[in-house]
Amino acid sequence: MPTKKATQTADTAENLKESLKALKEIVDWFDSQEEVDVEEGLEKVKQGAALVKSTKARLAEIENEFEEIQRSIELE
Protein backbone atom coordinates (compact mmCIF):
# COMPACT_ATOMS: atom_id res chain seq x y z
CA MET A 1 0.00 0.00 0.00
CA PRO A 2 1.48 3.39 -0.99
CA THR A 3 2.30 5.85 1.76
CA LYS A 4 0.49 9.16 2.06
CA LYS A 5 3.65 11.00 0.91
CA ALA A 6 3.99 8.72 -2.14
CA THR A 7 0.32 9.26 -3.00
CA GLN A 8 0.71 13.05 -2.63
CA THR A 9 3.80 12.98 -4.83
CA ALA A 10 1.96 11.02 -7.52
CA ASP A 11 -1.02 13.40 -7.33
CA THR A 12 1.27 16.41 -7.53
CA ALA A 13 3.16 14.95 -10.48
CA GLU A 14 -0.14 14.41 -12.24
CA ASN A 15 -1.22 17.98 -11.45
CA LEU A 16 2.06 19.32 -12.81
CA LYS A 17 1.68 17.16 -15.90
CA GLU A 18 -1.89 18.41 -16.38
CA SER A 19 -0.80 22.04 -15.96
CA LEU A 20 1.90 21.63 -18.59
CA LYS A 21 -0.60 19.94 -20.90
CA ALA A 22 -3.06 22.81 -20.43
CA LEU A 23 -0.32 25.35 -21.21
CA LYS A 24 0.52 23.46 -24.40
CA GLU A 25 -3.15 23.49 -25.39
CA ILE A 26 -3.24 27.28 -24.94
CA VAL A 27 -0.12 27.71 -27.08
CA ASP A 28 -1.57 25.38 -29.71
CA TRP A 29 -4.81 27.38 -29.71
CA PHE A 30 -2.91 30.61 -30.43
CA ASP A 31 -0.85 28.87 -33.12
CA SER A 32 -4.00 27.60 -34.84
CA GLN A 33 -5.70 31.01 -35.05
CA GLU A 34 -5.55 33.00 -38.27
CA GLU A 35 -7.13 35.94 -36.46
CA VAL A 36 -7.26 35.92 -32.69
CA ASP A 37 -10.46 37.04 -31.04
CA VAL A 38 -9.19 39.65 -28.58
CA GLU A 39 -11.60 38.71 -25.78
CA GLU A 40 -10.98 35.00 -26.09
CA GLY A 41 -7.25 35.60 -26.45
CA LEU A 42 -7.25 37.65 -23.26
CA GLU A 43 -8.97 34.82 -21.39
CA LYS A 44 -6.40 32.35 -22.71
CA VAL A 45 -3.57 34.64 -21.58
CA LYS A 46 -5.12 34.91 -18.11
CA GLN A 47 -5.45 31.12 -17.91
CA GLY A 48 -1.88 30.71 -19.09
CA ALA A 49 -0.57 33.21 -16.55
CA ALA A 50 -2.33 31.40 -13.70
CA LEU A 51 -0.96 28.06 -14.90
CA VAL A 52 2.58 29.46 -15.18
CA LYS A 53 2.34 30.88 -11.66
CA SER A 54 1.12 27.62 -10.11
CA THR A 55 3.60 25.56 -12.14
CA LYS A 56 6.53 27.74 -11.03
CA ALA A 57 5.43 27.41 -7.41
CA ARG A 58 5.18 23.62 -7.71
CA LEU A 59 8.58 23.40 -9.41
CA ALA A 60 10.07 25.39 -6.52
CA GLU A 61 8.50 22.90 -4.08
CA ILE A 62 9.94 20.00 -6.05
CA GLU A 63 13.36 21.63 -6.02
CA ASN A 64 13.13 21.98 -2.23
CA GLU A 65 12.15 18.31 -1.91
CA PHE A 66 15.19 17.27 -3.96
CA GLU A 67 17.44 19.45 -1.80
CA GLU A 68 15.99 17.86 1.36
CA ILE A 69 16.66 14.40 -0.03
CA GLN A 70 20.20 15.37 -0.97
CA ARG A 71 20.84 16.77 2.53
CA SER A 72 19.47 13.63 4.17
CA ILE A 73 21.73 11.46 2.01
CA GLU A 74 24.77 13.58 2.83
CA LEU A 75 24.05 13.28 6.57
CA GLU A 76 23.97 9.49 6.48
- The secondary structure of 47-71 as a DSSP string is HHHHHHHHHHHHHHHHHHHHHHHHH
Alpha-carbon gap, residue 52 to 34, rounded angstroms: 25
Ranges of the chain whose pLDDT falls below 50? 1
Specify the pLDDT at position 56.
93
Cα separation values, 3 from 8, 10, 27, 73, Å:
9, 11, 36, 20
- Please tell me whether the overall predicted TM-score, pTM, comes out greater than 0.75 for this model: no
Specify the pLDDT at position 4.
55
| Total number of domains in the chain | 1
Name every residue whose Cβ is closer than 8 Å to that of residue 26 and which is 6 or more positions away in sequence: 44, 47, 48, 51
Domain of residue 32: give its range. 4-75
